Amino acid sequence: MSASIHLQPSGAPRKFEVTCSSCSLRELCLPGELCAEDLARVENLVYARRRVKRGDALFTAGGEFGAVYSVRSGFFKTSVLDNDGREQVTGFFMGGELLGLEGISGRYHASATALEDSEVCVLPYALIEQLSREVPALQRQLHAVLAREIARDHGVMLLLGSMRAEERLATFLLNLSRRFVRRGYSPTEFQLRMTREEIGSYLGLKLETVSRLFSAFQKDGLIEVQQKHVHIRDIGGLERVLAARH
C-alpha cells in the first residue's frame, strides 16, 4: 500500500502524487482487489509514510498496539527473546506485506527490525476497524490477510516440527522465490537481506548447519551463492529435496 499523506517539517500534511490506486504493491497489500469506489475511501487509511534505517526497530515486543504497517520498500525481520535472552527470528517481510497484525490483541508480540533502509505506510488500526464496518469488501480482505498470517504461522510450526534440515532450507529458498515472483522479480536470482545466523534462527538450525547446507546445495548444482547473492540453478532439484520425504 502506498501512503497518501506525508508530514512536512512544518507539520502540515501534504498529499503524495503516488496513492494506493497507483501503487505497484496494491494487490499484495490490504486494499487487494477492491473496486475503485471502495479503494477511494480506503486510501484515507494511510496516515503517514515512515522511513526506518537499517538496524532500527519499527516496533518492539510488548509495545502498545496502535497501527499496522505495510512494507513499501525494504526488508524486515520479526523476532522475540527466549527465556535465556537470545533472539528467535519469527519471520521475514518484504514489500506489500503487513507487519504488526499479531498486535490486535493489544500489544505487539514481537519486535520488527529493518534489515536494510526501508519505508512503511502507517495504517492506524482504529481507522481500519471503522472503515471495515463501512466497506464490507475491506473487512473480507482483512479477514483474508489474517487467515494468511495464521496459515504462515502453521507453516512455520510444520517446518520446525517435522522437516529435516535440508528440507527446511529448500522450503525457505522456494518460498522466497515465490514471493519475489509475485512482486515481478526473478524467481531464481535475489539478494538475501538476512544473515546466515538469522536464517538459522528462523529455521531452528545452527549457523554451522546452515552454512554446511548452502555449501552442499551449491556442490549439488542446486544453487550458486556469492556472499548474499543467490542464484537458484535448479528449482526442480530443490522441489525434489522436499518430494524425497514422501
H helices of 8-123, in order, are 36-42
Superfamily of domain 5-135: Jelly Rolls (2.60.120.10)
- Provide mean pLDDT across the span 43-60: 86
pTM: 0.83
Q: Is the pLDDT of residue 155 over 90?
A: no
pLDDT in tens, 85-95: 889 999 999 98
Contact, 51 vs 73, CB < 8 A? no
- The span from the CA of 230 to the CA of 155, in Å, is 23
Contact, 93 vs 101, CB < 8 A? no
3-class secondary-structure state, position 171: helix
pLDDT in tens, 199-221: 999 999 999 999 999 999 999 99
For 163-243, CATH gives 1.10.10.10
Q: Which residues pair with 231 in a beta bridge?
A: 189, 224
What percent of the chain lies above the pLDDT cut of 90? 51
Domain boundaries in the chain?
Answer: 5-135, 163-243
The more confident residue out of 108 and 10 is 108
What is the Cβ-side half-sphere exposure of residue 173, based on CA atoms within 13 angstroms? 33
